Structures are given as C-alpha cells and as structure tokens.
Amino acid sequence: MFPEIKPQLLNIFERYRHVLDAELQQRACEFFALASRPDDDEFLANICEEMPPFPPRVSALIGSLNRKHGDTGDKRTWIHGGKEANLDREITKRKTLMVDVSGNDNSVSSPGTGQDIMDSLAGLNLSSSPNPPSSLPLLDTADKAPRLTIGPNVERWFEKLTYSNEGVLYEDVQIQVGIKSRYQSHIGQLAIYFGNKVDAPLTSFTATVHVSDPDALSVSFAKIPPSTIAQRSQTQQLLHVECKKTFTSPPILTISFLAGSHQTIAIRLPILLTKFFEHVKLGQADFFERWKLIGGEREAQSIFPISLTPADQLDITKNRQVVSGQRLNILEEIDPNPNNLVAAGVLHTSVEGKVGCLLRLEPNREAKVSFTFPFTLRILIILQLCRLTVRSTSGEVATEVQKLVQKPLQATNS
C-alpha cells in the first residue's frame, strides 16, 4: 500500500523472523508474507483497508436497570451510564459521611459495616500506615535501603543461593534463616524459615522487605507471621514474587526481635533477574544464527580469573553448576571445545514481555595470571583466565546476566 517504505518494512520483518520469542516470530513471518505480495494485489488492499467506526451500542438491560434504580438504594452502588449519571448520588453519599465540628460521625452504621470495610481494605497496600502493627510484615519501598548486616559467611551464603534454590541465608548463635524457592515464568514463591536456636522465645518478631524498584519487582507476604518464635522451634513465611520489568538490585529482608536485647538483621534475598529465566533448546545452526542476529551492540563481555581444582585442572563441574543454576539451559555439542559452555534462556516479565538471552563461557588454558602475596612467605597462586560473553535482545539484560554469572565464578586473591 505504501511502496516508498516497503523495503524498510521488509527488512524489519526479516530481522524478527528469527528471534527467540515465538509470538513475535510468528507475527513477523505473517507480516513478511503479506508485505511480499505485489503492490496491486487485491487481497493486500483489503487487509490494509481501514476498519469502519462502530456506532456506540447501549444495552437495553442496563438502560432498564438505570430507569428502575432509585436514590433509596445503597449509596455505594455505582449506576451504569458514566460519571454524569452518578453525580447526584455522589453528592448524596458525601452528605451521609460528613462529620460535624465536634467530631461526632453523622453517618449511620449498620450491622456488618465493619466487615464490609475490612473486605474493602483487603487488597490495599498498607505500607504507608504511620503506626503499623508490630507483627504485620510490610513492603518497604523507601528510597533509602537498610544497612546490610555483615559477617564472614553472609556473602558466601548469598552467593551460593544465587545459583541454587535452597540453603542457609543467615545464621548466628540466636537465629537461623533458610530459603527454599521455586519459579515459573515471571512468578515466584519464596519460603523463608526462621529458626530459634536459643532456649528462650524470640519476642516482638517482625519482618519487612525493602524493594528499591517496586515498579519492576513485586514482593508480598502471604500471611502475617507470629510475633513470637518459641524456644528451639521454627516458623515459615511465604513470599509471592512477580518480575514486572528488568531489575538490578535484590530486595532486602529486615527482621527484628527481642532476645535479651533488641536485635536487627538486614540481609539480601536471593531474588535475582536470572531466577525468572526459562530454558530454550537450540541446535548449533540456530544458536549461531541468533548470536549473529543480535550482534555486538547488545553484548556484555568480561575476562576474569577463575580458580582451578587442587589438581590444577579446570573446574568444569562448578562452571556448569553456576550457569545452569542461573536457569540458563546448557546446550550440548554447540562448541567443539568441551571446556567451553554455551547456554540459552528466555527472561519472562509481566510488563516488558519476553527477552531472549545467549551465553558463551570460554576458559583459556593458555592465558593465566599469577598472584603473589607480599609480606608473607611469597605464596604464588596461578589462576586461569576466562572469557564470558552474553548477548540479549536487551542490552540491560545482557549486562545484568553477565554480572550475575561472573560473580560466583570469579577467583579472588584473598
């Protein structure tokens, strides 16, 4: 229909005929077939013809209900017919809810009103309440994140949970916090276990979650936890998680309790972007075709040292565990080098949709770096270098996946 832009449209449709997203690929193939037809094709002209406007239709049933509805009904009822039809009833409702100057409520309470109010509040976010109940877990969306608790094992526990579904998140002499999680598409569930290790109850127990970007990640508690954890016992709290958009900061769990003195612990929850990935199966030709199609402009790459086994060999088992634990599907027989790993996955989000991601992990036996510790016995450690390359249809996703995969694989000289 528009021959002056037809080459550009065909080029766009051709590019998206090979994307990982099946829905987008299907639409691109359909539009490519249509756009490839001759300009004078009658079928193409009929498809591109503008749809006629439909006149507004008024339901006879709704009109009858509005005519029969009187102002003696429930003032909370909304009449069908738009804002104007409800103007008079809105004024009447406001008058019934007016409060006089002395502070007395002029509205008449009827049996069941309290229950109706609680039902109306069931789906509201009460995190901004000035005086929340001490045992109500809240979603903290303040700009300032809580100060994290530090310890010799806190970072190691969190790092291991980035590529595993269950384990210990925090432990000290008083309390142990464990995690068990499962994810499907853009939805996840996280079971948090709070264990009391002392011979006295933990009282005034509270739990809150801080989310730095609530528009991208939603975290909500399934129920109110008990305010007391009995001695030598355990309680469980379930979190519902939803990935709406790409996010980079994990939420922070803050728990506080009384055990002789007031204790506060703030730790990161292992809710990361890669948890919302699903496996993709690709053959060798399909993988490299998509790899080339994405191109280097949406690529994140890094070269870093990785530790070797005590036998000075590449730890292939750990490499596979980390990559697959990030919910990326390791593709076999793609790279001829058995030490290299090739993986693919699709990120699911409820707002931005699906995002494809491809990964290549390539350890280099010939490239090594050594660390020498000064002021000691001159201990020499030799580490092997590794190249990690991630390509995605979103550059932001590629950068975040590269960072999350590299962290547990990278060796340090400490």
Lowest average pLDDT, out of 23-27, 56-60, 254-258, goes to 56-60
Q: Answer whether residue 197 is part of any domain.
A: yes
Q: Answer whether residue 288 is part of any domain.
A: yes
Q: Domain check: are 235 and 292 in the same one?
A: no
Q: How many domains does the chain have?
A: 3
Q: Domain check: are 214 and 311 in the same one?
A: no
Q: What is the CATH number of the domain that holds 250?
A: 2.60.40.1230
Q: Domain check: are 289 and 357 in the same one?
A: yes
Please report, rounded to a whole number, the percentage of residues in the chain having pLDDT higher than 90: 52
Q: Domain check: are 370 and 298 in the same one?
A: yes
Q: Answer whether residue 62 is part of any domain.
A: no
Q: Answer whether residue 233 is part of any domain.
A: yes
Closest CA to 361 of 407, 326, 406, 398: 406
Which range of residues forms the domain containing residue 343? 277-409
Q: Domain check: are 256 and 313 in the same one?
A: no
pLDDT at 275 over 60: yes
Q: Which two tokens stand for residue 382?
A: 């030799």
37/14 Cα distance (integer angstroms): 14
Q: Domain check: are 229 and 301 in the same one?
A: no
Q: Domain check: are 287 and 403 in the same one?
A: yes
Global pTM reads 0.64
- Could you list the beta-strand ranges (E) of 223-351: 234-243, 252-259, 261-268, 277-279, 299-306, 329-330, 341-349
pLDDT at 316 over 80: yes
Average of pLDDT values for 195-208?
A: 94
Q: What is the CATH number of the domain that holds 380?
A: 3.30.310.10
Q: Domain check: are 203 and 299 in the same one?
A: no
Q: Domain check: are 336 and 393 in the same one?
A: yes
Q: Domain check: are 230 and 246 in the same one?
A: yes
Q: Domain check: are 170 and 243 in the same one?
A: yes
pLDDT tens sequence across 349-382: 999 999 999 999 999 877 766 655 555 555 556 6
* Residue 266's pLDDT band (cuts 50, 70, 90): very high
φ/ψ bin of 323: left (φ > 0), alpha (ψ from -120 to 50), beta (otherwise): alpha
Q: Domain check: are 181 and 257 in the same one?
A: yes
